[in-house]
Amino acid sequence: MKPILRVFPSDALATFAVEITISTIATCLNKHKRDRFTLVLSGGSTPKQMFNLFASEKMNQYPPIFWEKVHFFWGDERHVGPDHPDSNFKTAFDLMLSKLPIPAGNIHRIKGEMANAADAAAEYEEELRDFFQLTGETLPRFDLIFLGLGNDGHTASLFPGTRALGEERKLVASNWVGKLDTDRITMTAPVINNAEKVVFLVAGDDKAMPLKSVLEGAHEPQQLPAQLIQPQHGRLLWLLDSQAARLLPDDQSNRGPLDVSFFEPI
């Protein structure tokens, strides 16, 4: 399906991301009577405003969320412990998860503190297989995945020129990133592409060039890994602030409301 783009002022991006999440959860749990909702969080700086909003009093203006039915996962993690300042889990937990009535069993973190990153990846893959009751080569189907975009065109921990870009069998991979001199643990592109909804959150002037390259440049996913994200049986949404979108064509259709079909399960 063709990706959807929406552009907002910088101070409105997080609010719309929250509203997308609330609406998608409500559609799945209330309208379609599902018994759980699976949400994958991303790292980086852009989601922090969204996390803060979810934990703020501003949430009182929205219908209540049945947090006990929402399960949280991570698209990637650094090779660090859960108390390390670089931990994606720590950021989400400190800003949001610790302040909401979420059962401990609904928080499915990647154990980046394990000595071997490959073991951490294998354990997280096993957790996904158990949670989704997967058999054979079946992929998990997440309800909503949030992703970011790096200055080099990476997303999750799928970095340019790294081994995990070509991974087609594993659900989760350890990925050595030479320029960072460290391993990362990341969901693989096939897993992300099997989700019902994938939402990129991209903000800041420094993202304008990589964003333009990913969306309008030649298809070179080894150099621009975010181009790997092309759900075949789901919907892809790019939520952009005006600074990140400054090099894209000024298409007014990118500023209208989302069609209600976006929120429907596929």
DSSP assignment string, 19-45: HHHHHHHHIIIIIS--S-EEEEE--SS
**What is the value of pTM for the model shown?**
0.97
Determine phi and psi for 42, rounding to 5 degrees. Answer: -115, 165
pLDDT band for 266, please (50, 70, 90 cuts): confident
What does the alpha-carbon distance between residue 80 and residue 113 come to, in Å, rounded to a whole number? 5
Q: Are 28 and 34 in contact (CB under 8 A)?
A: yes
Pairing between β-strand 4-8 and β-strand 235-241 as defined by DSSP bridges: parallel
* Residue 247 clears pLDDT 90, i.e. is over it: yes
* Residue 253 clears pLDDT 80, i.e. is over it: no
* Residue 252 clears pLDDT 90, i.e. is over it: no
How far CA 188 is from CA of 78, 156, 174, 175, in Å, comes to 15, 9, 10, 10
pLDDT band for 154, please (50, 70, 90 cuts): very high
Which tens digits make up the pLDDT trace of 168-181?
A: 999 999 999 999 99
- For the chain, domains (ranges, CATH) are 4-246 (3.40.50.1360)
Determine phi and psi for 20, rounding to 5 degrees. Answer: -60, -45
How far CA 37 is from CA of 33, 60, 112, 120, in Å, comes to 11, 21, 24, 24
In the sheet with 76-78, reading across from the earlier edge strand, the strands are: 76-78, 182-187, 172-177
